[in-house]
Chains A and B, each alone.
Chain A
Amino acid sequence: EIVLTQSPGTLSLSPGEGATLSCRASQNVSSRFLAWYQQNPGQAPRLLIYGASSRAAGIPDRFSGDGSGTAFTLTISRLEPEDFAVYYCQQYGRSRTFGQGTKVEIK
Chain B
Amino acid sequence: EVQLLESGGNLVQPGGSLRLSCAASGFTFSSYAMSWVRQAPGKGLEWASSISGSGSSPYYADSVKGRFTISRDNSKNTLYLQMNSLRAEDTAVYYCAKDAGFAALRSYFHLWGQGILVTVSS
Contacts and interface: CB of A to CB of B under 8 A. Distances in A.
Contacts, number: 53
A50 B112 contact: no
Nearest to A35: B108
Contacts of A35: 108-109
A99 to B, nearest CB: 7
Interface of A: 31, 33, 35, 37, 39, 43-47, 50, 56, 88, 90, 92-93, 95-101
A44 B112 CA distance: 6
B95 A50 contact: no
A90 to B, nearest CB: 7
Interface of B: 35, 37, 44-47, 50, 59, 61, 95, 100, 106-115
In order of increasing CB-CB distance, the 4 nearest A-B pairs are A35-B108, A44-B112, A96-B47, A98-B45
A68 to B, nearest CB: 16
Contact of B112 (A45, A93, A100, A101): A45
A88 B39 CA distance: 12
Nearest to A1: B62
A31 B35 CA distance: 22
A99 B46 CA distance: 9
B92 to A, nearest CB: 13
B46 A98 contact: yes
